[in-house]
Amino acid sequence: WMSKPLKQSKRQKLERFFRRGQSQEIGPSLDMPLGLSDPKIAEELKKAGVQFPMQGVKVSKRASHTGQLKSLTLDPSLILRPVSGVTEIQGARDYMEDRSIAIDDIRSIHEAEKYKENLPYAYWAVYDGHAGFRAAEICKQKLHKIIVENENFFSGQVDKAIQESLAIMDEEIIQTGIDEGWTEGCCVSIVIVVGTILYSANLGDSHMMLSRNINRCESIVLSETHKASVPSEKQRITSAGGMVMRNRVFGDLSISRALGDLNYKKPKQEVNYVSNEAYMRRIAMTQNNHYIIIASDGLWDTVSHKEAVNMLYTQKNLDPKEM
C-alpha cells in the first residue's frame, strides 16, 4: 500500500485535521486506522510542509511511558491508494493458459457517478485456465466490468455483486463454448478493495493471502481449495447425482468449482456438478495489512503462505512492481 503524493493545497486542511484529532482512545496492541503510522505517509506530510505536535509519548531515563494514544479518523482525501505488480511465467505447455488483471483504480477504466470521490476502488484477479486459455481470456476481458455494473456493487453489497456476476460470466462462457465447439474452464481468484474493505472470492485451487504484521508477520488466507479430492466437495458432487473417481469429477476433472467446463454443467447435465458458487470473504483492513498475494497453484505448490509473506517483508523497500 502506497500513497499518492499530497498536493500543497492540502496543507492547511491537514494541519487543522491533526490539531483537532481527539477521538477514541486505543491501547498499543490494537490496530490504528489504515496508514496513520506508515513511514511513507510521514514522508509525504513532510514534503507538503505540514507541521503538528506529537502527542501521547513520554520518555525518561528511568523508564519509558506510553501515554494515551489517540485514534484519528483519516480525512478521506488521505486514504492510501493501492499499488500492484504482476508477474506471469509460462509452464511447460506450448501456450499460456492463465490470465491476470490488475486495476489499481477501477475509475480509470469505468466511469460512473456513484463512485465515492475519495475512496480507492481496486480490482485484481488471476484466472487459471485448464484445457485451454479461452475461458480465462473471456474472464479477463469482461468479468470486472460485469461486477462493477451490477446494481449491488454501489449499494454496499459487493459480495452479492461478485456472486451474481460469476453466474452471468459462467453462462456466457458455456454458451460461447457450445457455439464455438470447446469445453475449457478456469479457476477464479478475485480481490476487490473499496476504501479499507477487502472483498475476496475464489473458485478452484488458485489461492490468495493478505499479510498482517502485529509484532510478527503472518498470513490471512482468503481462499479455500475446491477439488474433487476434498471430502466436502466429493459429498456435494455425489449428493447431486454425480461421480468422483480417482479424486476427479467423473474421473476426468480434478477441479470441483470453476467457470466454464460445460461437460459438467447445465444444459449438458441436469445440475452443475462443477459449481460456480464462490468461497467469499469480507475483511476490514487496518494499517497492519500491507500486502495481498493472488497466485495460481503453480506458486503455492512450491511456496507456503508463511514463506511468501516472509519474502515480501524482506523486500519491503521495493516497489510492488519490482518484487
Specify if 3 maps to a domain.
no
Q: What is the CATH number of the domain that holds 175?
A: 3.60.40.10
Are the C-beta atoms of residues 142 and 109 closer than 8 Å to each other? no
**Is the confidence at residue 185, as pLDDT, over 50?**
yes
Q: Hey, what amino acid is at 281?
A: R
Supply the pLDDT for residue 25.
Answer: 34
Contacts of 253 (CB under 8 A, 6+ apart): 130, 185, 228, 261, 264, 274
Q: How confident is the model at residue 53 (pLDDT cuts 50, 70, 90)?
A: very low
CA distance 249 to 254: 6
- The mean pLDDT value for 22-50 works out to 46
Specify if 273 maps to a domain.
yes
Beta carbons within 10 angstroms of residue 17's beta carbon: 18
**Is the confidence at residue 293, as pLDDT, over 90?**
yes
For residues 290 and 232, state if they share a domain.
yes
- The mean pLDDT value for 21-30 works out to 36
- The mean pLDDT value for 146-168 works out to 97
Share of the chain above pLDDT 70, in %: 75
Supply the pLDDT for residue 318.
Answer: 84
CA-only gyration radius of the chain, Å: 23
For residues 52 and 153, state if they share a domain.
no
For residues 36 and 148, state if they share a domain.
no
Supply the pLDDT for residue 93.
Answer: 78
Specify if 90 maps to a domain.
no
- The mean pLDDT value for 177-191 works out to 98
Share of the chain above pLDDT 90, in %: 60
For residues 316 and 265, state if they share a domain.
yes
Q: Which three cell numbers stand for residue 286?
A: 487496518
Specify if 17 maps to a domain.
yes
Quote the DSSP letter at residue 251: T
For residues 168 and 70, state if they share a domain.
no
Instruction: Show the domain range for 43.
Output: 8-78
For residues 159 and 232, state if they share a domain.
yes
Q: Which of 78, 108, 125 is the last residue of a domain?
A: 78
**Highest mean pLDDT out of 87-96, 278-287, 297-306:** 278-287
CA distance 242 to 270: 10
For residues 231 and 115, state if they share a domain.
yes
> At CA 265, angle to CA 264 and CA 269, rounded to 5?
85
CA distance 32 to 282: 19
Specify if 22 maps to a domain.
yes
Specify if 32 maps to a domain.
yes
Q: Calculate the dihedral angle through the C-alpha atoms of 85, 195, 292, 132, rounding to the nearest 10 degrees.
A: -70
Are the C-beta atoms of residues 156 and 192 closer than 8 Å to each other? no
Are the C-beta atoms of residues 162 and 147 closer than 8 Å to each other? yes
Are the C-beta atoms of residues 162 and 201 closer than 8 Å to each other? yes
CA torsion sign for 296, 303, 198, 75 is negative
For residues 168 and 19, state if they share a domain.
no
CA distance 144 to 223: 19
Specify if 50 maps to a domain.
yes
* DSSP three-state, residue 50: coil
For residues 153 and 301, state if they share a domain.
yes
Specify if 84 maps to a domain.
no
For residues 236 and 306, state if they share a domain.
yes
For residues 219 and 272, state if they share a domain.
yes
Lowest mean pLDDT segment, chosen from 181-185, 216-220, 257-261: 216-220
Supply the pLDDT for residue 48.
Answer: 55
For residues 308 and 223, state if they share a domain.
yes
Task: Count structural domains, the chain.
Answer: 2
Q: Nearest Cα to 257, choosing from 235, 225, 282, 297?
A: 225
Higher per-residue pLDDT: 25 or 39:
39
Supply the pLDDT for residue 2.
Answer: 42
